[in-house]
Amino acid sequence: MAVITVLGAGMMGSALCVPLVDRGHEVRLVGTHLDGAIIESLQAGHFHPTMKLDLPAAIRPYPAEALPAAMEGAELVALGVSSAGIDWATSQLAPFARPGLPIVMITKGLELREGRLGVLPDRVQRGLPEAVRDTVFPAAIAGPCIAGELARRVPTCVVVTGRDAGTLARLAEALRGPYYHVFPCADVIGAEVSAALKNAYAMGVAFGVGLHEKAGGVAGSVAMHNWESAVFAQAIREMMRVTALLGGDPLTVTGLPGVGDLDVTMNGGRTGRFGRWLGLGLGVAASVARMEGATLECLEILAVMREGLAAHEARGELRPGELPLLRQMMAVALDDAPVAMPFERFFAEGAG
Ligand SMILES: NC(=O)c1ccc[n+]([C@@H]2O[C@H](COP(=O)([O-])OP(=O)(O)OC[C@H]3O[C@@H](n4cnc5c(N)ncnc54)[C@H](O)[C@@H]3O)[C@@H](O)[C@H]2O)c1
């Protein structure tokens, strides 16, 4: 069994610790400078205040300043931060990175670098010291996984993806357990594009829930499932288009990282709740306020995609008519446009 250090004690970083301690690993959970209250609560009585549940006593909580102690003898590192914290986490980890250290992240997002969209494991690798960069291949977990369910040991299937097959095999072996099923996936572009974009598309599907309620619909009455399913289908086509644009395998979108994760996020995630507020017509500021500070990766990825699409379009790699759903979601969630789906532009040849 291994010594595993998890950096970031938010919901998903903490939830990942549960299958790891159940496998018998020694698991050290290190909070960021923003996680002080979580670590104090875990130290006082194993209670995670944002997930609102007790975690196994075997997980060892460390405050941010104790990172050097938590990294002593670490054989595997997991980054549990959201995309806003990924550069910070990389800089914290860098002094402790040694050749061949397996690193896995749960963060969902894409980066824009020199006018090109790229995946976050590559960004982490670039942030590591030159002396280890050639031997450390950061990997990422993607697929349908709600933190609170994994922490309650609900059977969960995910992929671990990255650029080095050997690292993926080692990670899958270390992470998997009786209820946490981990499959290596060599298509890091397809998996990471899916993982990042599903947050935005889940918001778009959830607009329909809000629209239905705004029109006077109530739970159990005739719903807007026709509307939502059409948006879902277009979302899958557009994720396949962006995957192809960046050089990944569009078929990856049809598996756990795309279809699987979009489904779970629509049904169980905070992104769905946020999309519902927008569909109800609350506007961006009031909808964000209702989320009470929850991480909203959907807004982060839409901002990155807006710049990224412009850059790819300027080089003639994408036409202005492509990805009509993504563009509409940007208008609603970034510019406060009313929710009006351009269905007539969906499903056409070349519309993504
Ligand atoms: N919650 C889920 O079910 C789930 C499932 C799979 C993947 N994810 C992904 O995991 C990531 C974290 O999600 P979460 O639900 O744990 O969110 P969370 O809000 O509970 O935790 C966010 C974590 O990131 C850290 N962080 C945020 N901003 C930071 C900054 N500027 N500098 C340093 N650290 C910062 C926080 O301290 C915390 O540790 C996201 O990318 C999310 O998409 C979440």
Q: pLDDT tens for residues 300-323? A: 999 999 999 999 999 999 998 899
| DSSP string for residues in 127-140 | TS-HHHHTT---EE
Instruction: Mark whether 198 is an active-site residue.
Output: yes
Q: Was 23 annotated as part of a binding site?
A: no
- What is d(CA 326, CA 40) in angstroms, rounded to the nearest whole number? 40
With contact defined as beta carbons under 8 Å apart, do 314 and 293 qualify?
no
- If you average pLDDT over residues 240-257, what whole number do you get? 97
Share above pLDDT 90 across residues of the chain, in percent, rounded to a whole number? 88
Ligand 1 close to Cβ of residue 88 (< 6 A) = yes
Collapsing DSSP states into helix, strand and coil, what is residue 50?
coil
Does pLDDT of 173 surpass 70? yes
User: What is the assigned CATH class of domain 3-186?
Assistant: alpha beta
- If you average pLDDT over residues 17-22, what whole number do you get? 98
Q: How far is the CA of 33 from the centre of ligand 1 (A)?
A: 13
pLDDT confidence of residue 270: 85
With contact defined as beta carbons under 8 Å apart, do 36 and 126 qualify?
no
The rounded mean pLDDT for the chain is 94
Ligand 1 close to Cβ of residue 194 (< 6 A) = no
Assembly ipTM = 0.98
Does pLDDT of 62 surpass 90? yes
Q: Sort strands 60-62 and 26-30 into parallel, antiparallel or unpaired.
A: parallel
- What is d(CA 300, CA 196) in angstroms, rounded to the nearest whole number? 9
Q: How far is the CA of 145 from the centre of ligand 1 (A)?
A: 13
- The model's confidence at residue 28, banded by pLDDT at 50, 70 and 90, is very high
CA distances from 164 to 5, 64, 161, 186 (A): 21, 30, 9, 8
Q: Which residues pair with 160 in a beta bridge?
A: 141, 184
Does pLDDT of 221 surpass 70? no
- The model's confidence at residue 348, banded by pLDDT at 50, 70 and 90, is confident
- If you average pLDDT over residues 192-221, what whole number do you get? 89
- What is d(CA 220, CA 305) in angstroms, rounded to the nearest whole number? 36
Q: What is the CATH architecture of 190-345?
A: Orthogonal Bundle (1.10)
Q: Was 352 annotated as part of a binding site?
A: no
Nearest alpha carbon, ligand 1 atom 33: 85
Q: Was 329 annotated as part of a binding site?
A: no
Q: Where are the domains of the chain?
A: 3-186, 190-345
Ligand 1 close to Cβ of residue 10 (< 6 A) = yes
- If you average pLDDT over residues 245-250, what whole number do you get? 97
